[in-house]
Amino acid sequence: MRERPRVITRRQARQYAIPPTGEAEPPGRNLERLDAPIYLAGPSHSEAPISIDVAADCSNSWEAHRAALIIAHPGHELRVHHWLERAKPLVLVLTDGSGHTDQSRLGRTTALIERAGAAPGRIYGALSDRALYRAILAGDADVFIALAQEIAHVLDHAGVDYVVGDAVEGANPGHDACRLIINAALMRIEATRGRRLGNFEFTLEGPPDACPPNDRDAAIILTLGEDAYRRKLEEAQSYSEMAIDLRRAMHSHQLEAFRTECLRPVRYGLEIGDCFEHPALYEGYGEQQVAAGFYTDVIRFRAHLAPLAERLGRAAAQVKPAGAP
């Protein structure tokens, strides 16, 4: 087991009543960021972060580097709203956030990120939430491999230096799958171009301000000032589609916690089994939903996410350097 402080505890989880498509969205405040070097854990499972070439150049200014935000669901961007304003990343979103409805949240997110000065990328609501969960349940790894390929292409083409995205928390299979796709995409870029991108994550269920001591030097940490915090709160409050998730987040965390945005270095590749306690929270939730007659199947880590990770890893291992025969 890697030494990795728990992002989310069972006790916290019981408070959350986490739904499989649920998010925890926030409010937050101004910042002064800790100038942090950009690190990438990459496909190795080393405890030590591996610095990348760009780290030397941007250790005093991550804002000088091209960023991408990659999230499973529209609305996640609220958690890192001020970083969004500062970094103005390319934003890629896997699903339309429709959940169990047919109501897409993409329009709301598009308006929000454009107000922040960021821009939508080519992958933007590629799947409905239902399609994402069906693909996970069916073990349809080709869907995820294709997304990793496409994301790698988009990041490479846009000259992105570092990526920020969902953390693996064992709380929502869509979030965990998103992280697997991100890591697989970065592995592909490294294999084809020999270029390592910085790789950061933020929690959607765990405390927004939590940054393990051994990650602090390599993390991007923003502490919001009053104006930035007010803007973040206003965006969160006007995102009506996220109201339920917001209330849950407020219930789970102190409001003050959202003044901090902690982008932690990702120190794992595709082996995510040590990132959370087992069974994953989404398994218990799925069992409840099946018992209640709402779902017919339960997404499980061992049966669904772990094989998906393995397929993504096998596909990435077959990638050849650009120009190779």
In the complex, the residues that contact Zn ion under the rule CB under 5 A are 23, 73
CB of 24 or CB of 36, closer to Zn ion:
24
Question: Radius of gyration of the chain from Cα atoms?
Answer: 18
CB of 58 or CB of 171, closer to Zn ion:
171
CB of 32 to Zn ion, least distance (A): 28
In degrees to the nearest 10, what's the CA dihedral of 152, 34, 213, 155? 0
DSSP reduced 3-state for 145? helix
CB of 99 or CB of 121, closer to Zn ion:
99
| Location of structure tokens 């087991």 | 1
In degrees to the nearest 10, what's the CA dihedral of 16, 77, 257, 49? 100
CB of 111 to Zn ion, least distance (A): 18
CB of 204 to Zn ion, least distance (A): 6
Q: Residue 63 class from Cβ within 10 Å (0-12 exposed, 13-18 middle, 19+ buried)?
A: middle
CB of 25 to Zn ion, least distance (A): 9
CB of 178 or CB of 262, closer to Zn ion:
178
CB of 81 to Zn ion, least distance (A): 15
Helices (H), the chain: 10-16, 53-58, 81-87, 106-115, 129-138, 141-157, 173-193, 226-238, 243-252, 281-291, 306-317
CB of 36 or CB of 94, closer to Zn ion:
94
CB of 74 to Zn ion, least distance (A): 9
CB of 161 or CB of 169, closer to Zn ion:
169
Indicate the residue type of 253: H
